[in-house]
Amino acid sequence: MIQRDSTTRSSVEGTRAPARARRAIAGIWGVGLLVAGWAAMLLVPVVATAFAVADSAGALIGTGATVLLSLAGIGGGTVIVLRAAHSETRHVFSARPVFVTGTLLVSSGVIVFVALMSRQPFDRFAADGTITAITIADLGCLAIAMFSLAAGGIALLDSWDARDEERSWGRLE
């Protein structure tokens, strides 16, 4: 039996609204963190070329810090977005948001990987064996592309599983 009072429509709806708001806020924070991570990833080559003149320890540390910030932003944003899209409080009807998230992650990972490989990233490292800021930037971009591809693949598999669950509920036919 649902109890009604003057402040909320029902006690059940009173508990649902904050959970929906928390999921929406978490999704917004996750997307913001993803955007910040991708922006930092776009800055990695700029930072590396700015430090390319002086291949010092400071240049390597600056480029490495930018790569780590980018990885943290993209990783954290991905986790938050996928948790918001496939929440434990809502067991069904989440296949489409998880599918879109997985598709975006896979496509962005492919774009970064193709762009990185088209400029032949490790030629200088293979030629003289020295680690420069550009080498660290290339390794960071490669790690970001691999993470995006792996996370996107996991999200796509999860959306397939959620779709099968939704089909058993009769939502998708």
Over range 13-25, report the average pLDDT.
60
Q: Which residues contact 135 (CB under 8 A, 6 or more apart)?
A: 121, 122, 124, 125
Residue of 108, 109, 107, 95 whose CA lies nearest to 158: 95
CA dihedral 93, 99, 101, 106 (to 10 degrees): 170
User: What mean pLDDT, rounded, does the chain reach?
Assistant: 76
Q: At 149, is the pLDDT very low, low, confident or very high (cuts 50, 70, 90)?
A: very high
pTM: 0.70
Q: Which residues contact 134 (CB under 8 A, 6 or more apart)?
A: 45, 48, 49, 52, 124
pLDDT in tens, 90-125: 555 577 878 888 898 899 889 989 988 888 888 878
Residue owning tokens 């959970």:
19
Over range 73-80, report the average pLDDT.
84
Residue extents of the structural domains in the chain: 11-169
Residue 8 has pLDDT above 50, yes or no: no
pLDDT in tens, 47-70: 777 776 656 777 788 888 888 888
What is the share, in percent, of the chain residues with pLDDT greater than 70? 72
Contact at 8 Å (CB) between 155 and 82?
yes
